Amino acid sequence: MFSLGKIDNVEIIPAPLAGISDAAFRLILRECGAKVCFTEMMSAMGIVRATKKNLSLIQRDTDKGPLIVQLFGKEPEMFERAVPIVEENIRPVAFDINMGCPARKVVGSGSGAALMKDIRLATLIVKAVRSSTKLPVSVKIRSGWDKDSLNFLDFAKMAEDEGASYIIIHPRTRAMAFSGHSDWSHIKMVKEAVKIPVVGNGDIRSSEDYLRMKEETGCDAVMIGRGLLGRPFLIKEILDKDFVPDSKYLKNIILRHIKLAVLDSKHPEREIFKIRKHIIWYTKGLKNASSFRSELVSITDPYLLIKRIEEIFSE
């Protein structure tokens, strides 16, 4: 565990997930024990060029807790200009530079994991962010572009040399995307190569996975992404070995999520569509869940949705 600014003993960090890490989900994660959360990754260029129509990009929402803003892009100047805008409007506790997103649209623009092919440009981006803020700055990397270009150690050392406060490594290549298995030995290699804290990321689905990653790699903290989908309380399970979620707890956390995401929203008719994927993840494996998921696509009334959740758990 390590300290992130004024936040001490950070053990678990929820990963930034596109289309997932909104205010409602972050509030659920905080209630499950997360000390700090990431925003969804934000385009540095999009922030700089924000118009009145998309100012929501740089406005604080209902989640007032400690936030790390993850930026992506390919132009150092845009990062340099975006950072003070974010600081003024969102007031994050730290910044992260995305050099790991494998999405075709992001990589195709020269951003995300595409930066793993150009350490010169990546260096200029880290310099630009570090020169623009006094807040902690991290870099999230992958093992490399593909199996023939495993340059994660070069990137980790570069990040340290350029003043990064810590490094996050997801030990898959861009070519792997999210397939196969992450190679935790890469996390250990980074930990042994640098003096700054290292956060390990990849394939954490249980408390046992968390403990094994810590033991095998020596990483300072663990980032969890897809393992939290439908199980944000995995954080609570890791932090409290006596905690065992039962069906009542699961029902209550689903209803809590619906309240935060839909009922408390200014646009419940829009948010009810977005909450569906979460409910599918939450109810996976439950009795009668498959028939309920088929019904879910036709439910547009949040109160009917709540009623059906109550019924599912009473059967």
194: helix, strand or coil: coil
Catalytic amino acids? 101
Second-level CATH architecture of 247-314:
Orthogonal Bundle (1.10)
Do residues 141 and 168 lie in contact, with contact meaning Cβ atoms separated by under 8 Å? yes
DSSP-derived secondary structure for 77-111: HHHHHHHHHHHHHT--SEEEEEE----HHHHHTT-
201: helix, strand or coil: strand
The per-residue pLDDT for 57 is 61
> 122: buried, middle or exposed (CB in 10 Å: 19+, 13-18, 0-12)?
buried
* Dihedral angle computed from the Cα positions of residues 70, 75, 76 and 78, in that order, rounded to the nearest 10 degrees: -70
Residue spans of the domains in the chain: they are: 2-239, 247-314
The topology (CATH level 3) of 2-239 is TIM Barrel (3.20.20)
248 Cβ contact partners less than 8 Å away, ≥ 6 residues apart: 313
Question: How far is the C-alpha of 241 from the C-alpha of 27, rounded, in Å?
Answer: 22
Take residue 169 and report the two structure tokens written for it: 């490594």
The per-residue pLDDT for 52 is 54
Do residues 272 and 297 lie in contact, with contact meaning Cβ atoms separated by under 8 Å? no
The stretches of the chain forming alpha helices (DSSP H) are 23-31, 44-48, 76-89, 104-108, 119-132, 152-161, 184-193, 207-217, 234-239, 247-258, 268-282, 289-296, 302-314
Query: What is the residue whose two structure tokens read 């990963």?
Result: 15
The per-residue pLDDT for 291 is 80
Q: Is it true that 2-239 and 247-314 share their CATH fold?
A: no
Do residues 119 and 151 lie in contact, with contact meaning Cβ atoms separated by under 8 Å? yes
Q: What is the mean pLDDT of each run of 10 residues along the chain (315 residues)?
A: 89 95 95 96 91 62 91 97 93 96 94 97 98 98 96 98 98 93 97 98 97 98 97 97 94 96 88 92 84 85 92 83
